Each structure stands twice: as structure tokens, then as C-alpha cells.
Structure 1
């Protein structure tokens, strides 16, 4: 960056003037090319993060607010909304719409929708006509509210209707299931599942008790059969006839059949009372069976009483059966009763087992029906709650509502066009200044004498100020005097070096053309003549001679004519007003003269001139342009490099130095011309050079 700034300082005039011209041109072009200012208009729509509610929280499907926002912005730019907006009254006649081949695509491209970090949706558009822009934005906003927002509200109403229909459907299903449950419960003899289970438990207990009784009864039957067998055997003996006469009550009390029937009757009567308390249906099968069993036992007990009463009466009248033993008869009768009870008990057990299976199936059916009723009731309750909530919340404020319609507005920035022009001008100026700085930086032109010694390692013999131009009175004279003193300083250094070693022929060259070598040659030769040294100024820049112009001498005859043998040396040398300085101009150059520089003619000429003059200043061609300088350098005693500030490039000067040094030429150093000085000189130096006392 310091190097770029230094390079810019060297070309600041060019940079400033060019930047001003280019900036003015760029600003004018930008002003003409920039389209007219656009007017922006917007409408504001409030989109709540959550749906407003009055009381209930409905179970409507919901998504995250970010997704909902993105959905709304996408719907606004959908074909459905844009086409509806373009169909509104007055929109199709607008010039900005009528001139479009595809108004929907154009409107989608121009329309801007954004939320930012709030619940406010901004719908905006820009255009050249503020009234038309506001009209289009309002049309899009209205179409969005009609096509999207109102449709969403209509979908809520339709959802409520579907929920009401669903609720009515579940109510009908519940009524049918409850009726079915009631019928199954009546057929099962219970009012609910719990009563059915209790009844099933009672039947199971009854079945178990009946099975135990069957086992006991079978044991009694075996005993009765054994007793009948024993009595039958005893009846065949004489002792059977001596049967003791018993009273009727004693006969009943000692009769085992009566005792058995009484015990069974008491047990079945108790069980019947228990069933009657649980099962109130008189036609229920288990209740009917118990009633039949109790009636059968009572009838058997009555018949036994009648039988014993008849047997007792026969004993009293003396009419006894001869062949039938009362004990054996009673035992046989008792055995028949037991066998009848066994048959009845087996039938009862079979009936109970069948009833047990039926009760199990009915209980399972009741359980399934109850579960279905519970599930349907739960769903119906949820649907009913949602119906009630949605019915109430339909009256709540809408989630999306218009806050502010679009209005015609001025341009966002009235100074935008001028700012754009200023930015274009500033950018162009900055680019030009940067390019100039970069160009100068890449050129690496020498700015100060210190760069020659510091960067290139070439010793500086002297520094010459800029040659004075024009007639500005005393200041010009002072500058001319300063230039003469600087040249004399170079001459002094040259004379000092000639005392140490022979330095008679001095070549003045430069890296490229236009670096002040011819001016330096003239000044140095003139300075040597002022010092009383017989000096010859030899112009060896045959291709581009300049000495004859600077010394105001004719171009020919000169060196070229001498080398071609056309004139004698004395005829080509011209005397000058600055005696004892003489000039040998270049003459008219051709290929023969250039070729002579490489032959023996030129070395003999230099040798001849050495005998005539104390110093010969040779103005040669630039070292990097032609090879003439390299050939001349082999016949001189030393060389001076001319460097012109702000013109000479450091790489070129370094390369010229390397070429001469490679050929073994002794280089005295560089003379830098055009060095900077105070434009008005310092006061002390001015008064000193002008001879004025302060």
C-alpha cells in the first residue's frame, strides 16, 4: 500500500484529471441509463401464531408457525390467487398489466411477500405508477382473503357439519347397542354383567352341591340295596313273623324314608328361597327346576305318610299281609325313592350343566357388548365435546385479518437516482485512480536518487534539477544557476576521477530513449569547456541524433560522413560559442555508417580524437534499444548512465547497467536528472545564488 500511494503521488495530476473526466462521464451515463424511480406500495395482514379462541381449545390439525407462514406466502403467489386478483374490476385495464404477455408470471415475479420476525405479513410491489401499484397490491390482498382465508373458514364450518353427522351416527349406534344389551340381559335373567356373573356363580355352586348330593345319594342307594337284601333273607326265617307292633308316630319317626325325604325337602326349600331372592323371573329354568324338586319331595313325603298310615291301620285290625314283611316292604319302597331321587338329581345336574354353558356364552356376549358400548360412548363423548368447542369457537376472531390496505406512496428514496450517479462517478474515479496507481507501481519509475543507490546498487555521481523553461524573471535565472552548479558538481567528480586513472573518452548512455542523456552530454561538455578543458561533444546516436538540435548546429557533415570517408574529420567538426568546446554531429545515417561502428574505422577515429582533445563526451544510443552502444562501449574509458526522474524505470536501468558491466565497461555511476526541489527554492539558497543580501 505505501508503494501504491507513492506511485499515485508520482502521477497525481494524471490521476486527478483523468478521474474527474471519467467520473463525470460515468455519472452522466448512469443518469441517462438508470431507469426511472419505482414506487413501492404495501398492505399489512396480521397472521396470528395461534388461532384466537373464546373458551375452548379445539382439536384442529396444527403445524409449526414457521411452516404455516411459508404456506401462506406460497399460497399468495399461487395461480389461484393471482388469477383471481387479475380478474378484479379495473386490474385488466391497467397499462402495467395489459402490456404483459403473461400477467400471472409477471405478477408472481414482481410481488414480494415476507413476514420478517413478527406476525405481520407484508404484501408489496414496486412499479412506475404509484396508483396502479397500490391497486394491484390491494387486488392481490383481497383475492388472498377471499380464496384462501375465507375458504379456510368454510372448511371449519364443513368440519363442524361432519362432526355433527358423526356424533349423530354414534348416538344411533349407542342406542342400538344398549337395546341389544338389554335384550341379552333379560334372556340371561340379569340386569347387567355383574348380575349375570352372580347368577353364573350360583348355578355353579348349585351344580357342585348337586354333584355332591348325587355322590351321597348313590352311597345311600348302595346301603338301601344292602338293607333290602338282608331283610329279604331275614323274611324267610320264622323270627320275621314276630314283628313287633309299633305306633303310627313311632312308625313315622323310625322310618328312614321319611327322615330322608324330610331332610331333602328342607334343603331344597332353602335353596329355592335363595334363588327366588336373586332371580325374580318366575320362568327362569333353574328356579322352575328347584320348585319342581320341592313339589316332588313334598308329594313323596305325603305318599309315604299315607302308606305308613295304611300299614298301621292294617296292624291294628289284625289284617297283615302274610307274605310281605313290613320292614322289607319299607326298605324296598325306600330304595325306589332313592333311585327316583337319583334319576331326578341326574336330570337336574344335566340341566345345570347345560345352563352353566349357556350362562357362560351369555356372560361373554354381555361383556363384549358392554365393551363396545363403553368405547362408543367414549368416542361419542369426544366427538360431542369437539362439536361443542367448534360451535363456540366459530364465533371467535379470525386468525388472519387485514390490518392496513395498500396506499399510493412516493419512491422509497427520492435521491436514489442521484445517489446512483454519484456512486457510479465515485466508483469510476476510484477505479481510474487505482489503475493509474497500479500502472505506475508496475512501471517502477525512479522517483529519487536514493532509489538508484538503494534498489539498484548504482552509485550516484550527481543530481540535476529540472531545466528551467520560460521567462519568469529572477526565479528562472536562479534555477538555471542551480542547474549549472549541479552539472559543475558532476564535472568536478569526473575531473577528480581522471586524476586517479586515465578518463578521456566518456560515454553517456541511458536504458531507453527520452531519459535525458543528450541533455546531460551537452551540459557536461559545456561545463568541461568552461573549466578550460579542450572538449569534443561526439554524437554517436546515429539513428536518432539530437546534439545538433541542442547545440544549434547543422546535422551534416558529421560522423557518418567521416566513417564513410566522404569528408575529412576537420571538415565535420564544428566550433561552438562555448570555446574550447567543439561538436561532431551525427550526420546522415545509413547502413554503411552503422556497420562502420563495428569495423576499424571507428577505433582509428577515436584514437585520432584522443590526440586532439582532453575530454571526449560521446552521446550514444540507449543501451536496451540497439546494439550500437555495446559496440561503442569497447572504445571508451568509462560510461555515465543518465536517469530521468519519473521516466526511467528501475528494471530497465538495472538491466542496462548489467549489460555494460558484463562487457567490462567501467561505469562511473548514474546522473539523475529532474530531481525534485522546492518550487520556489529555499530562501537562503535563492538569495545566495542571486547574490542578494537578506
Structure 2
């Protein structure tokens, strides 16, 4: 049979008429990315969702119940203290007093939980005799750990909080700590202020007495106020200092003028100042239209890469059309990027102009301030130079240092009186720290810790099971998507789940068409194997043979899995006599061929024995397959798993095409790679993988 007649029969029915069009048609693939692009950990979680749900739910319930009973519910009580944000005063308050409020609040909170305050609180016999305190080896350390201080930024309230099993005891302890804080910190601060006021008043009285004593030493009629005079040396020093400041001011003014000139040029030409950000392409690719263009380019690129892996001849019209399509999509994407870039610049260049204008105005304002500062320095220089000239021209009279000392002491007395008056006003003002509410005996237990602990325990249970599932699946490295296989070998076909029968037949027909194009037109011997027994090779062999049979091709399905034959169950026939018998006794092939209910010619494996192993030699196998080639157009051979026994290798040498079956979520990538390496060593004419159980996206891609 020549190539044209065989290819015609591949697409015609048994009667010679073309098969009617199928009801299922090729649908447009979804726009979403393939499953292979999904995070592997997420794929593991989605695949094992039932295990995580039930086992994780059970463990979460157990841990939540354990946390509920192990974490005791306690009573909680608290007292309130108000700390004013401003320092209280009898005069108008200063808004700057709030600047140190946060620091002051934290300091007071630390003082409440300090060792000194807690130790004073525990000195009370009523507190020390409480069972809650007596059973502690270090009561102060216990209170430091258990006492909670709650305050919020901007709030004037400080809450002292304690939890325990005895509501009366925790109430007494909180009130005792609050009382100790007010005695040892707040009231002690008031006492220290009063002591400081008394010392200031004593100092003022003593200095007044000293001034009166020195006034008696001054001759009558001598003025007690000395005019302020500047000695020549001081004036000269000031002149030198001001001249240095003027020189620095001139340099700063010139630099500022140059800066203003540069800003004015930049402001007049904002487009020349614009620089695209380094991540501009990333920003542009976030645009929805550009993302769609990128997805189309990726789709075309995937098709090109797949074509390169499957076909050796790239000088075809289809491949050139794909390349032209990729160039066209790239050009459209670049044009859209350029358009979005111009829009981006048009939106941001005015903002740059506003920023340059603001910098220009600020620079001019700073220049005006610098010039004003220079004028003030020149004015001071003129005054000091006049003073220096006046002092040098006149003969100054000697000073009376006793009068100077009296004047200095009077100034000190005035300052001390002002400070004492302010301190007296502060003492008369309301206290900054005041007790607002004492602790009261709680009536209900606080279950928040139990609820929170149970929630955390339940989440930990789910997380533990999820982590275990991810760790287990990561260690096995199962096949979760077709993308996992692309780095190993070409994917010749993807068979969807068995539930969708029309899609299964459609995928098998696509695989059959690929084999027709790639395999020699003479009798085709197609070997189907797998890394392990459970990877779906039996199902793939059976369905592929049925696909050829439906196309009207004279097809034979051979079960060469001689040790563990299973294909006779798919074909609903017996396994009495078959390949083993033909290899041993060289019977007529027709005597052992069965016809399945669907009309498929099937040669079972037969009964295995040690004699069969001796017959699995190249010469014997060549004669066996030659007889089959003479009787059938296509021969589909189901062999042993590649990694289990050695009988697969001599059989594979006579194959025109070798298909390695891979089952999604079952086949391990490590074993697939090992099987692939062994098969590639045989240098077959055509070799590829077939994925069983793929989804819609994988079937299209």
C-alpha cells in the first residue's frame, strides 16, 4: 500500500465514504495562562484539597479543643490614670508643651512597672498575704511580667491592667500599685518642687543681704547703675567676625544667583529636563491593552517553540506564518508602548514644570533672605566700627567694680525671683497626673485569650497539614501540568480526562494525525510504554489503536507486557494463547488474534514462562514483527514499563515511533527522566511524551 492510499484511509471510513463531521469542534482556548505557569505549591494544595480539608479540619478541631481547655479563662480588672497632654498652668497654656507628652507618658508607664513602685506596693501586709502573691518565688518579677499598661498615641488615659483567677486579689493589687505610684512618684515630685522653691527663696534673701552690705561700701552720691561700654578689644573682635560673615554671605549670594539662573533655564525647557524612570517598561506593561498584546506574543511564541520540538523541517508555510505573526504582534505591541509612553510623558512633564517653578520661587525667596542678612551685617559692622572709633578717640574713666558687682547681683536676684514665681505658679496649678478610676472587682471571666488561642491552634492545624502535603508532594515531584514535561522531551499529545469522551477521541485523532505525518508510510510499528505500570500505558495503547481503527486502517493491538498483561480486560477477551506462544512454537499469527467487541484486532500476551525470556532475542523479534507488518498497516505494541524489566529495550529497537505515557498527578518526574534517558539511548525515529488526564488549556497548548 502506497503512502497516499494509506493516508487516505486514515481519514476515511470502512466503506470508503468520509466520516461525518464530529459534533464537537475545536473551541477557542481560554485567555488564561496554562496550568504550568501556576505556582507549584498552589498546585499541590489544589490537588490535595480534600486531604487538607478533612485531615486538616480534624486536626484543627482537636488542637482548638485542646487550646480551649488548656488556656484558662481569667478575670481581668483595670484602673485608669489621666495624664494631661499639656503642663497645667494658671496662665495661658503653651502649645509647645505637647512636644514631650509621648516621652512623658512612656516614662510614667515605666515608673509604674518599676521595681521601686512594685516593691512599695507589696510592703502592704494585705497585699503580701494574698495567696496569689505568696505562691510566687519572686513577687516583684511576677508583677513586672503580668501587669499590663495600655495607652494609645494621642490619648491622655493610662490603664493599669491585671488578670488572674481571684477577682478580689487582682483588684487589691492594682489599687495598691496605683496608690504606691502616686505616693512614690507623683507626690514625691511635688515635694521636690516645694523643696526647690524653699531653697530659691532662701538664696534670694541671702543675696539681698549681701547687696545691702556692699551698698554701704559705696561712697554717697555714686550712681549704682553703670552704662554699658564696649572695650576697644571687644569691638575690634566683633568687627573681624562680622567681616568674615560678610565674606561668606557674598559667596552664598553668588552661588544662589547661579542656582537661580540654572533653574530658570530648566523651567523654560522642561522637556529637555525630563528623564524616563528606569522601570518605565515595567510600568507600561501594567497597561491592560499591552498585557493582552504580550499574552498574544507569548501564545505565538509557545506555538513556535512547540513546532520546533515536534518537527524537524522548519521550512514550511505554517512555520513562516507563525514567525510573521510574531513579528506583527511585536510591532503592534511596540507601537502601543510608544503611544502609552507619550501619554505618560504628557501627564508628568507639567508636574515637572510645577516642581521646577516651586524650586525657582524658593531659591528667589532664599536669595532675598540672604541679601537682607547681608544688609543687617553691614549695619552691625558700621555700628561697631563707630563704637571702636569713639572709644579710641576718648579717654575712658576707670570703672567702679564694686558698683558693677552690685548691679550683677541685682540681676541674679531678679532672675531667681522670676524662677521662684514660676515654680510657685506650677505648684498652685492642677496636678498633671490624676487618678481617674480605681479598679473594681470584675464579675465575668475574660474568654478572649481562649478564643484567640483556639483560633491560632486551628490555623496551626490547617497550616501543618498544608505544609506536610506540600513537603510530601515536593519530595515526590509528580507531574502536575504539561509544563513540567517540556524540559524533558517533546509532548506529542495530551489526552483529557475519560469523563469527556468526545474530547478524548478528538485528542487521540490529533495524535494519530501527528504520527501519520512523522512516521514512515510503510507498516507503522508504534511502541507505547511508561516509566511505571500505573502511568496509563494500557489505556493509551488501547485508545490509540481504536483511533486508527475508526479511521479505517487495518490495525493490530499487541499486548507485549508479557509479565503483567492487562490489555485483554480492555478488549474484553481472554488471555489464552498469544505472543508468548508465538515466540515459543512459531504458530500461525491468525490463530491467536482476537477480535474485540469494537472490531479491533487484538493479540494478547499469553502465559509467561522462562522459555519466553530465551526467545526475546533480536533475530526472533525481527521475524515476529515482520510477520505482523505483512498483515497489518499499523501495529500498536503495549510493552513492559521501561524501568521494571529489560525486555522493553529489544522490542523498542524495531519501533518506528515510541510513545512514553505519563499520567497527571501520578507519574514522577524523576522516573520519567530516567525512562526517557534509556529510550533516547536507542535512537528511535520518533520519540515523545503523551500526557493522560490533561485539562482544557493543556490540550490546546
* Range of TM-score over shorter length: 0.5 to 0.7
Q: 2:64 maps to which residue?
A: 30
User: Which of 601, 619, 627 is the equivalent residue of 2:620?
Assistant: 601
Q: 2:535 maps to which residue?
A: 515
User: Which of 545, 562, 565 is the equivalent residue of 2:565?
Assistant: 545
Greater gyration radius: 1
Q: How does 1:610-689 map to 2 (within 5 A)?
A: 610=629, 616-623=635-642, 627-642=646-661, 644=663, 647=666, 660=679, 663-667=682-686
Q: How does 1:510-589 map to 2 (within 5 A)?
A: 510-522=530-542, 537-547=557-567, 550=570, 559=579, 569=587, 574=592, 576=594, 578=596, 581=601, 583-585=603-605, 587-588=607-608
How far 1:398 moved relative to its partner? 2.3
Unaligned runs of 5+ in 2: 1-31, 225-396, 697-701
Q: How does 1:97-246 map to 2 (within 5 A)?
A: 97-113=133-149, 116-118=152-154, 120-129=156-165, 131-174=168-211, 176-178=213-215, 181=217, 191-193=220-222
Secondary structure of the residue that 2:608 maps to in structure 1? coil
**Within 1, Cα distance between the matches of 2:426 and 2:549?**
117
Secondary structure of the residue that 2:653 maps to in structure 1? helix
- Structure 1 92/549 Cα, relative in aligned 2: closer, same or farther at 3 Å? farther
Normalised TM-score (structure 2): 0.53
- Structure 1 38/598 Cα, relative in aligned 2: closer, same or farther at 3 Å? farther
**Within 1, Cα distance between the matches of 2:507 and 2:400?**
131
- Structure 1 537/397 Cα, relative in aligned 2: closer, same or farther at 3 Å? closer
Secondary structure of the residue that 2:637 maps to in structure 1? strand
Note if contact 2:657-2:685 (Cα within 8 Å) is conserved in structure 1: yes
Normalised TM-score (structure 1): 0.54
How far 1:124 moved relative to its partner? 2.6
RMSD: 5.5
- Structure 1 644/389 Cα, relative in aligned 2: closer, same or farther at 3 Å? closer
Secondary structure of the residue that 1:585 maps to in structure 2? coil
Secondary structure of the residue that 1:91 maps to in structure 2? helix
- Structure 1 513/408 Cα, relative in aligned 2: closer, same or farther at 3 Å? farther
Q: How does 1:105-504 map to 2 (within 5 A)?
A: 105-113=141-149, 116-118=152-154, 120-129=156-165, 131-174=168-211, 176-178=213-215, 181=217, 191-193=220-222, 367=400, 369-380=402-413, 382-383=415-416, 390=423, 394-408=427-441, 414=447, 417-418=450-451, 421-422=454-455, 425=458, 429=462, 439=473, 443-446=478-481, 457-460=490-493, 466=498, 501-503=521-523
Q: Deviations over 1:638-663 (max 9, x none)?
A: 44554555555789779867865664
How far 1:162 moved relative to its partner? 2.4
Note if contact 1:506-1:639 (Cα within 8 Å) is conserved in structure 2: yes
Q: 2:52 maps to which residue?
A: 18
- Structure 1 647/116 Cα, relative in aligned 2: closer, same or farther at 3 Å? closer
Question: How many pairs align?
Answer: 479
Q: Comparing both chains, which one has the higher relative contact order based on Cα–Cα distances under 8 Å and sequence gaps of 6 or more?
A: 2
User: Which of 74, 80, 93 is the equivalent residue of 1:44?
Assistant: 80
- Structure 1 86/31 Cα, relative in aligned 2: closer, same or farther at 3 Å? farther
- Structure 1 369/658 Cα, relative in aligned 2: closer, same or farther at 3 Å? closer
Unaligned runs of 5+ in 1: 196-362, 469-478, 678-694
**Within 2, Cα distance between the matches of 1:13 and 1:100?**
53
**Within 2, Cα distance between the matches of 1:411 and 1:175?**
72
How far 1:131 moved relative to its partner? 4.7
